[in-house]
Amino acid sequence: MEKTIAEFEKFGEIVLVYGRDILWAMVILIAGLVLAKAVNRMLRVILTKFISNKTLVSSISAIVFVLILVFVVAGAMEQAGMEGIVVQRIIFGITMAIVFLIIIFRPYMPNLPFKVGHFIKTGDLMGKVEATTLTHTRLKTVDGKTVFVPNSKILKDFVINYYFTPERRVEIEVGIGYDQDLIKAKQIMETLLIEDPRIMENPRPAVYVVNLADSCVELSGRGWVKNIKYWKTKCDLIEKVKLRFDQENIKIAFPQRDVHLYHEASPSFPEGEGTQNLIDNMTGET
C-alpha cells in the first residue's frame, strides 16, 4: 500500500515537472497542423492564378506543407524536452530513409503514360485526366461523369493519349447500291471534304472504294483534322454527304436480299373440302 502511494506520488511529481512541457508540445503540434493545412490551401489558390500547370502547383504546395510539418514536429519535440541536436538527427535520419526508399523502389513504381490535363482513352473509357494518385486515376468523361480508375487496370490495358496526337484522321463511311453512280458519289464526297475549312490540305483528303459488300459498295472518305475538331467535323460531314446524295439521287444502300421467283407447274391439290381445309389451315380461319 505504501509502495503504491509512493509510486503515485512519484508519478505526480513527474507530471508536475514535465506535464506542462508535454502539454505545450501537443498544443504546438495541433496548432502547427492546422496552420500547415491553412497555408497549403491558401498557397494552392494563389499559385493557381499564376501557374497553369496543376501538377506543379500540387508539388509546390505539398513541399511547403511537408516543410512546415517538419518545423512544427521539431518544435514540439524540443518543447517536450528533447535536445535540439537529437531532434535534428532524428529528422535527418528519417529524411535519408525516405530518399533511400524512393531511390530503391522508383523503378517499381507505376509510370502512367499520361499527365493531369491529358485527354485519354483506356479500355472503353474516354475522358480528361483530372488527378492521379499512387492507386487510382480520376477521369472526367465527355458526358460529365467522374470515374476513378485503378492504376493497375490502366497499366494492364492499352491507353490512347490524344495529347500526343494533335491531328486525327476523320473517316466517313457510306455504302451505296451497286446500281448507283460510283464515280459521281466519289466526286461528291471528295468535294465535301476539300471544301470543309477544318479538313487539312496536307495530307490531301481522298475517297476510296474499300469493299464490295453483300448489299452495297462501301466508300470511305478520309481527311485529317485537328484533334479538337474531330467529332463535330465528322458529324457535319456525315450529314452533308447524306443530304448531297439525296439531292443527286444517289441511294445509300441498306441490307437487303434479292429474291428470285421461278415459275414452275403448281402442285395438284385435291378438290372439294380437302382444298378448303388446306386453305383454312393456312389462313388459320375455320
Partner 1 sequence: MRLKETIKIIDEGWVRKCMGYRVHFQKRNNGDIITDYVPGDEEKPLESEVVAWRLAWKLAQAKNKIGSEMKDKEIFNIFVVDDFNNPVKHYATGKIEVFLPINDE
Instruction: Using CB under 8 A, list all residues that contact partner 1.
Output: 190-191, 194-199, 201, 204, 229, 232-233, 236, 239-240, 243-244, 247
Contact 126, 162 (CB under 8 A): no
**Based on CB atoms, which residue is closest to partner 1, 78 or 190?**
190
Q: Cell digits for 238?
A: 456525315
- For partner 1, the closer of residues 95 and 187 by Cβ is 187
CB-based contacts of 200, cutoff 8 Å, min separation 6: 167, 223, 224, 225, 226
Q: Quote helix, strand, coil % in the chain, to nearest 5.
A: 55, 20, 25
Sheet holding 167-176, edge to edge: 167-176, 217-226, 206-212
Shortest spacing between CB 240 and partner 1, in angstroms: 5
CA distance linking residue 77 with residue 18, whole number of Å: 13
Q: Is the peptide bond before 203 cis (omega within 30 degrees of 0)?
A: yes
Provide, rounded to whole angstroms, the least separation between the CB of residue 190 and partner 1: 8
Q: Which is nearer to partner 1, 133 or 247 (CB)?
A: 247
Q: CA 26 to CA 119: how far, in whole Å?
A: 46
Q: Smallest distance, Å, CB 164 to partner 1?
A: 24
CB of 222 to partner 1, least distance (A): 16
Q: Would strands 167-176 and 206-212 be described as parallel, antiparallel, or unpaired?
A: unpaired
Which lies closer to partner 1 via its Cβ, residue 68 or residue 225? 225
Give yes or no for a contact between 173 and 209, defined as CB atoms under 8 angstroms apart. no
Using the minimum distance from each CB to partner 1, give the nearer residue, 161 or 191. Answer: 191
CB closer to partner 1, 25 vs 237: 237
Question: Considering the complex, what minimum distance in angstroms separates the CB of residue 233 from partner 1?
Answer: 8
Minimum distance of partner 1 from residue 157's CB (angstroms): 34
